[in-house]
Amino acid sequence: MNNVEKLLAENKAWSQEVKEKDPDYFQQMAKSQTPEFLWIGCADSRVSADIIMNLSPGELFVQRNIANQVISTDFNCLSVIQYAVQVLKVKHVIVCGHYKCGGIRAALEPFNPTLELTNKWLMHIKDVYRIHRNEIDKLETMDQKTARLSELNVIEQVRNVCHLSIIQNAWQQDSQPTIHGWIFDIANGLLEHFVTIAPGWDIDPIYRSLHADDVKL
């Protein structure tokens, strides 16, 4: 049995085990999804959101990319956020980074000429580094710099979420969701809270989304 065949076999074993415990599990799950949380995390294979929070399928709506970024031109991420907020009515959006992140570390180094597309994606993290360069460059080791940039990147991405018109409209209409910034420590398996922004947060005027009634022609 090769590795791919093993995955399919493990799936069958898992499905059978679940049905033995709860014969109606999959029928009930197929009816709808009502997750309370949207998770925006890193694509790193070691950071599986439902596993590290001990959740079952259906409890978490998930968007993952390199270094858990929220970029205003990433229509995949924006579509996920819009669906989660406007259709699923999630109450919380969690942006979660992690220590020892390869994308964050790469952003602290010169571009790799063989990874042209990845370089463009990492440009946004380099911007976060540039903003906080004086603080980060005072740290002694690359591990320390990577860890601090991971934290600052989470805070920046939380702000990016709040700057979206999708979120600002939801705050005005539904008084939700609350936005959270977390860090996952791969070395001990624990999550750490960094920032929480509640609906109605005082957004910098240059990022505010005007509503039709507010626009003066």
196 with 181: CB under 8 angstroms? yes
Which residue range forms the structural domain that includes residue 103? 3-28+35-200
pLDDT of residue 210: 74
| pLDDT value at 185 more than 80 | yes
Task: Flag whether 125 is in a domain.
Answer: yes
Taking 50 as the threshold, does the pLDDT of residue 165 lie above it?
yes
Q: Put the strands of the sheet holding 37-42 in their side by side order.
A: 60-65, 37-42, 92-98, 178-185, 190-197
Q: For the chain, where are the E strands, in sequence order?
A: 37-42, 60-65, 92-98, 178-185, 190-197
Quote the pLDDT of residue 217.
43
Q: Which of 21-25, 143-147, 160-164, 188-192 has the lowest mean pLDDT?
A: 21-25
- Domain assignment present for 211: no
Residue 54 lies in a domain: yes
Task: Summarize the confidence of residues 12-36 as an average pLDDT.
Answer: 91
Q: Report pLDDT for 137.
A: 96
Q: 10 Å Cβ neighbour count for 95?
A: 28
Peptide bond into 177 cis (omega under 30): yes
pLDDT reported for residue 8: 92
Rounded mean pLDDT of the chain? Answer: 93
198 has pLDDT over 90: yes
**Biggest CA-to-CA distance, the chain:** 68
Which of 76-85, 137-146, 198-207 shows the lowest per-residue confidence on average (mean pLDDT)? Answer: 198-207
Number of helical (H) and strand (E) elements in the chain, helices listed first: 9, 5
Residue 215 in this model has a pLDDT that exceeds 50: no
In a domain, 42, yes or no: yes
Angle between helices 75-82 and 165-174 in degrees, nearest 10: 10
**In the predicted structure, residue 69 carries a pLDDT above the cut 70:** yes
Residue written as token pair 């993290």:
125
DSSP code for 181: E
pLDDT of 159 over the 70 cut: yes
The residue among 85, 100, 46, 56 whose CA lies nearest residue 179 is 85
Q: What are the catalytic residues?
A: 42, 44, 46, 98, 101
Q: Is residue 215 part of a domain?
A: no
Task: Report the distance separating Cα 41 and Cα 191, nearest Å.
Answer: 12
Least confident residue range of 27-31, 37-41, 94-98, 115-119: 27-31
Query: In this structure, is residue 216 part of a structural domain?
Result: no
CATH number, position 153: 3.40.1050.10
At 211 the pLDDT is: 62
Domain tally, the chain: 1
Has residue 207 been placed in a domain?
no
Q: What is the pLDDT of residue 214?
A: 56
Residue 206 lies in a domain: no
